[in-house]
Amino acid sequence: MECVDVAENLRGQLVDSLLAANVLRDPRWAEAFRQVPRHAFLAGFFVQRPDGTWEPVTSEHPDHLALVYRNEVCVTQLNGDDRAWEQALATGSVTGVPTSSSSMPTIMAIMLEALAVAPGDHVLEIGTGTGYNAALLSHVLGDSRVTSIDVDPGVLARAADRLAATGYHPTCVAGDGEQGYAPRAPYDRILGTCAVSRIPSAWLEQTAPGGLIVTTLNRVIGAGLVRLTVRDGQGIGRVLLEDGRFMPLRAHRQSWADDALRDALTAEPAGSRTTLLPSRAVVDPSSGFEFFAGLTLSEVATGADPIRLVHPDGSWVRHRGAVVDQGGPRALWDEAEAAYRQWRALGKPRRHHFTFTATPTEQYFALDGTTLTWPLP
């Protein structure tokens, strides 16, 4: 009983913080966050140590509930399978790359609010993960109106079990989320809880006329949430003011980047020079310029210590304080500096000043009040 009271109190504190931050406004979602027990979906997860390794946290951990109800992401899988979890339990910690998680509650609230669901709406969730978000959707809309798909059968099976144990029974499907789920289409809302490099054509086809797609784009620099209204097979909408970053759909991962970033640590530069543009302005999501930088550096991946930028074409940057080293076919930092000058000349537009259009043949950003567009590669 004491455990239930503690969890209930911690949930209440989490909801109060989301309300105070004004990311949670609809009473339906506030009540869902108060009632759905996040800890039921997070019996085990990883917490990252200061040295970068991952420590397992189970329900036996003395701080389990406190860690669950922090307003933070909880990583539940590394490297795309469950062997890292078993190893962590045996050895105390592991290294790895997160591949499944329970998203930060703030981002969940922002996206659920952006869905603007009405009673009777049918929702397709791309990326079931732990099942927690599907439970929130089911709490508000009812089980029969929620479909959730995940590419990992093991992840999905665990989520379905946890959903059932907490009294929720949405339709859970193992499959490629990029393809949507045609048997239950059309959907009034599609919610992508993983990042996509482009809006998949199946999502456009499976959204009812006037329906909404809410997702985030897989962009290391300049990522962000978009909300699109779908009509006549195309989605048109805006980049949202609130930032959002998610693990990419597995088919959309930058698998080339690890080797390129490692090579950029020691590569011999074609040229070195000083720069007045700090690396933070380009790579830090809190920078006003970061989103605009991503329009120019759309396929770039980044690394830290020192800051590095790499591109699939072999171009790279190593930023060392006031000095940059560059190599490859393009001078990436020259492009970043040119983009910074353009951004200032345009009045320093922020992310919410941009629209996004997705058609079966092209996808692009556009800046309000101008004819400027930036196509996705």
Tell me the domains of the chain and their CATH numbers: 105-239 (3.40.50.150), 254-345 (no CATH)
What is the pLDDT, as a whole number, of residue 249? 53
Average pLDDT score over the chain? 93
Q: Is the pLDDT of residue 335 over 90?
A: yes
List beta partners, residue 310.
301, 316
**Total-model pTM:** 0.91
Contact 175, 76 (CB under 8 A): no
CB atoms within 10 A of CB 59: 13
Say which residues have a Cβ less than 8 Å from residue 219's Cβ, sequence separation at least 6: 195, 294, 298
Q: Output 299 or 30, whichever has higher pLDDT.
A: 30
What is the pLDDT, as a whole number, of residue 300? 92
Q: Is the pLDDT of residue 371 over 90?
A: yes
What is the pLDDT, as a whole number, of residue 1? 46
Catalytic residue among 103, 138, 197, 315: 103
103 labelled catalytic: yes
